[in-house]
Structure 1
Amino acid sequence: MTILYWVLVLVMLVGIVGAVVPGIPGSSLILGAILVWGFVRGFDVIGWALGTTLVILLLSVGVDFLAMHLGAQRAGASKWGQFGAIIGLVLGFLGLLPAFLVAGPLIGILVGPIVGAFIGEFLYRRNLPLEERAKTSFKASVGILVGSLVGNLIQGLLAIAAVVVFIATTWSTVG
C-alpha cells in the first residue's frame, strides 16, 4: 500500500509540472491519482483532498483563460488578437503550423498563441501604418504571452495546494 501511495504522489508531482508546462496534463493527473487512492482506501479517506482538487481543477481552467484575457487587455489587444491566440494555440497543439510539424506540440503550444495573436492584431489594425501596426501587434502578442505565463504559474501554485491537502489528509492512512 505504501508503494502505491508514493507512486500516486509521484504522479501528482508530474501533475504539478503539467499545471505549469503546456502539453502535459496537470490537475487532471492529480485528480486521477486521488481517485485511485479513494478506490483503494475508501472515499471517506479522501473527502477533503477530492473536494479541494475538484475546486482547484475548476479554478485552473478559469485562471488560464482569465490570465490570458487580462494580459491581452493590459497590452491593448483586440478581440481579434485574443481570438488569433486561441486559434494559434489549437493549431500549434495539433502541429498544424508549418514550423511546428517538426518541433511538435509543445513548441506549438508555446509559440502558436503568440503568432496567432500577432496575426489577429495585424489584420484588425489594417488602418494603421505598417510600422505602427507591427508594433501594436507585437505588444498585443507579448501581453497575451505574459498573461498566459502568469496563469500557468498560478495553476502551478493551485496544483501544489491540492497535493499538499492530499498528503496532509491521507498521510495517516498509509500503511
Structure 2
Amino acid sequence: MSATEVLLALVIAVGIVGIVVPVLPGSLLVVGAILVWAMEVGSSRAWTVFAVATTLVVCGTVVKYLVPGRRLKSSGVPGSTLAAGAALGFVGFFVVPVVGLLLGFLAGVYLAERRRVGAALAWPSTRAAIRAVGMSILIELVAALLAAMTWLVGVFVTA
C-alpha cells in the first residue's frame, strides 16, 4: 500500500465513523476517497471498483430512506413529528457537542408526540422513531462498509 492509499484508508475510516457520529458526511467521504483513488490509479479495474462502491452507497442511501420511512408510517408516527425531531436535533447539534443531534431529535419527537397523543402514548411513538433512525444508520453503515471492502479488494487487485 502506498502512502496515498493509507491516507485514503484513513479518510474512508473517518467517513465510516461519520455515519455513526453524524458530524461529517460519512458516505460522501467514503465515495470521495474512492474517487480520488480511482483517478490516481486510472485503470479500468479502479474505475470499476469506484462504480461498484458508488452503486453500493447510492443503493444504501435509497434503502436508508425507504425502509425506516415505511416502518414509521405503519407505526403511525406522522411527518410533522419527525420534522419537530429534526428541528430540535439541528438545535441540539450546536448546543451539545457530539450527542446533541440525537438528544435534540429524541426530545423533539417526544414533545411533538406528547402534544399530539398525550404523555402515555408519546413514548411508544418515540421508541418507534428511535428504531427507525437506528435502522437508517445501520443501513448506511453497511453500505459504506461494503464500499470500503470493495475498495480494499480493488487496492490489492490493482497493485
**TM-score bracket for the superposition, by shorter chain length:** 0.7 to 0.9
Partner of 1:110: 102
Structure 2: distance between partners of 1:69 and 1:157: 18
- Gaps spanning 5+ residues in structure 2: where? none
User: Structure 1 residues 138 and 36, CA, compared in 2 at 3 Å: closer, same or farther?
Assistant: same
- Normalised to the residue count of structure 1, the TM-score between the two structures is 0.77
Deviation at 1:134, TM superposition (A): 0.9
- Cα contact 2:57–2:147 (8 A) shared by 1: no
Partner of 1:88: 88
Partner of 1:159: 144
Deviation at 1:71, TM superposition (A): 4.5
Return the letter of the residue paired with 2:115. Answer: L
- Cα contact 2:27–2:57 (8 A) shared by 1: yes
Deviation at 1:70, TM superposition (A): 3.8
- 1:35 matched to 2:35: yes
Return the letter of the residue paired with 1:85. Answer: G
Structure 2: distance between partners of 1:141 and 1:134: 11
- Gaps spanning 5+ residues in structure 1: where? 96-100, 126-132
Question: Which of these two proteins has the greater Rg computed from alpha carbons?
Answer: 1
- Normalised to the residue count of structure 2, the TM-score between the two structures is 0.84
Per-residue CA distance 1:77-96 (angstroms, 9 max, x = gap): 22322222222232223x2x
Partner of 1:128: none
- 1:134 matched to 2:119: yes
User: How many residues align structurally?
Assistant: 159
Structure 2: distance between partners of 1:57 and 1:87: 26
Structure 2: distance between partners of 1:91 and 1:72: 23
Structure 1: distance between partners of 2:60 and 2:90: 18
Deviation at 1:14, TM superposition (A): 2.0
Structure 2: distance between partners of 1:166 and 1:121: 43
Deviation at 1:9, TM superposition (A): 1.5
Structure 2: distance between partners of 1:65 and 1:16: 18
The root-mean-square deviation of aligned C-alpha atoms, in Å, is 2.2
Q: What fraction of aligned residue pairs are identical, expressed as a percent?
A: 25
Partner of 1:129: none
User: Which of 102, 105, 113 is matched with 1:121 structurally?
Assistant: 113
Deviation at 1:165, TM superposition (A): 0.9
Deviation at 1:135, TM superposition (A): 2.3
Q: Which shows bigger deviation, 42-51 or 70-79?
A: 70-79
Deviation at 1:43, TM superposition (A): 5.5
